[in-house]
């Protein structure tokens, strides 16, 4: 029996966007799960013809605050492979708040968290325009 993927994605060549999402609810609550999760993310990024903008739908993803160090260590391994990460879909409520705080702290910079996909895509459009200048 094969394992269900933690992350799926599609590359949108016309805008150089790798749009990723989580097909099943997942909690990043141990180092093994975090390592597997980021291995899947890296595999999707490496399949892109050039460093993409990563548009991430966080729906269904929770990150345990206790795992911030492991999460942050994995972020460092793939961030150089991207033009930027633009997040949306972080759940409301306590778990969503904890995930949002964990993402912000782990990134030690702007976490690029947006209320919805359209707003995140607009931020990517602005980032792309700024790169062209």
Mean pLDDT of the chain: 87
Nearest-5° angle of CA 108, CA 131, CA 52? 70
What pLDDT does residue 37 have? 95
CATH code for the domain of 43: 3.30.750.24
Contact 79, 88 (CB under 8 A): no
Tell me the pTM.
0.88
Containing domain of residue 22, as a range?
Answer: 8-121
- Within a domain: 24: yes
What pLDDT does residue 48 have? 97
pLDDT, tens digit, for every residue of 20-74? 999 999 999 999 999 999 999 999 999 999 999 999 999 998 888 888 889 888 8
């Amino acid at each position: 029996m094969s394992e269900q993927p933690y992350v799926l994605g599609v590359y949108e060549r016309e805008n150089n966007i790798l749009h990723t999402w989580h097909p099943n609810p997942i909690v990043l609550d141990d180092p093994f799960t975090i390592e597997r999760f980021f291995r899947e993310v890296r595999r999707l990024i490496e399949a892109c013809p050039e460093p993409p903008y990563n548009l991430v739908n966080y729906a269904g993803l929770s990150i345990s605050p206790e795992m911030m160090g492991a999460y942050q260590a994995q972020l460092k391994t793939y961030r150089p492979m991207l033009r930027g990460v633009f997040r949306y879909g972080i759940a409301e409520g306590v778990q969503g708040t904890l995930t949002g705080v964990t993402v912000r702290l782990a990134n030690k910079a702007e976490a690029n968290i947006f209320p919805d996909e359209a707003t995140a895509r607009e931020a990517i459009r602005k980032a792309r325009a700024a790169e062209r200048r």
